[in-house]
Structure 1
Amino acid sequence: MGRLPGPEPGAPRQRLRPGLRDLRTLVEGHLRERPSPVAVRVPYVTRDGYLALRAWLRTAHAEVEGVHVTDRSMTVRARLHGATLGEAPAVLLRVRRGGGTERTVVPVAEKDGRGFSFTVDYGELAGDAGPGSRVWDLFVRVDGGTSVRIGRLLDDVADRRDIFVLPAAVIGGAVVRPDYTVDNDLSVRADRT
């Protein structure tokens, strides 16, 4: 059996230019049930025009299906893949850096134990915002007490930060805005000047 054509082991990396990409199966990826581990791969074109691949591998994942924003709160609808909510579900909002501050919200669970929704009151997050910025990362506690990150991975968008810009609200002198991180996870940012 002969060797496959291609560079020799240890040869310099070769960058590829993208051609046509059929991403139709990714567009509705959030509609399919995914067992654990949840594996996601999204091809995209880099800023300098080359083909790249974003990949995630998580034991479980909570996929955002919708975010409804008002001037006082946000309501998130999500669905678990690779896990179920269990008997004592909770949505956890944790400050990303420093302080160990955490808020808990009780979600409304769907009958199947995988779909859920919750509302975050911006006033609670703004009241905790000292001078500067505070970023709250969102998790859901599932069966067995594990915390699963809430985000949007299961479609054809490799980087949501600049595409899905959600409206901000001004609460008690703080600007509060839900946004997506570099890893497409949902967070809430509170900035006080």
Structure 2
Amino acid sequence: MKAHAEIAEVWPRDGRIRLVGRIHGLPARDTAGSWELVLTRRAHPDRRLRYAADLKDDRFESELPVADLAAPDYAPVEEWDIHLSDGTVELRAGKHLDDIRGKKKIFVYPEQHVGNLGVRPYYTIKDNLSLECRTGGSA
């Protein structure tokens, strides 16, 4: 299996989304250094948001404020892909090491609101974790 950031916990609450997981598929020597959570706006890949990620051995934790996802040029639905990066390696965040397939239809996280924007984490059809932002505030 390809190296990735395996998500163990997703906590969307109080205007923040907290992610907990571990790095899978990289030797321990390759997990040293400074890591960050990177969000990439799918419709505008040059638009990226970065947040510090606490890393201990292969385990990571990071959180982001939902308000950072608000943008004046949003389409009715925007998506952000989530990666963990040390600046040279970029690992896609997802949940692949369990026996559950099709998480998109199984795992439903609560939506949080920032003004007219509704934000919720979701799993893609490839069981990667992304964020969906909908104007109008309802998913």
- Name the TM-score, length of structure 1 as normaliser: 0.65
Who is 1:138 aligned against? Answer: 82
Match of 1:101 in 2: 47
Q: Secondary structure at the match of 2:99?
A: coil
1:8-27 deviations in Å (ceiling 9; x for gaps): xxxxxxxxxxxxxxxxxxxx
| Structure with max Cα Rg | 1
List structure 1 runs of 4+ shifted beyond 2 angstroms.
Answer: 126-129
Distance 1:130 1:183, change over 3 A: same
1:150 partnered with 2:96:
no
Structure 2 residue matching 1:166: 3-state secondary structure:
coil
User: Structure 2 length as normaliser, TM-score?
Assistant: 0.88
Distance 1:71 1:177 in 2: 13
Contact preservation (8 Å) 2:12, 2:120: no
User: % of aligned pairs identical?
Assistant: 26
* 1:189 counterpart letter in structure 2: E
Describe the superposition over 1:104-132 as per-residue Cα deviations: whole angstroms up to 9, x where unpaired. 0110111x1x1000001100002466241
Higher strand proportion (structure 1 or 2): 2
For 1:186 and 1:174, how far apart are their aligned partners in 2? 19
> Who is 2:64 aligned against?
120
Does residue 76 of structure 1 match 2:22?
no
Question: 2:98 and 2:61 mapped to 1: Cα distance?
Answer: 20
Q: Which runs of 5+ in 1 are unaligned?
A: 1-37, 39-57
Cα distance in 2 between the residues matched to 1:80 and 1:165: 23
Please name the residue that 1:64 is paired with.
Answer: 7
2:32 is matched with 86
* SS at 2:109 equivalent: coil
Relative to structure 1, the CA distance from residue 163 to residue 97 in structure 2 (aligned partners, 3 Å threshold; closer, same or farther) is same
- Matched to 1:69, the amino acid is P
How many matched pairs? 133
Return the structure number with greater relative CO, CA threshold 8 A, min gap 6. Answer: 2
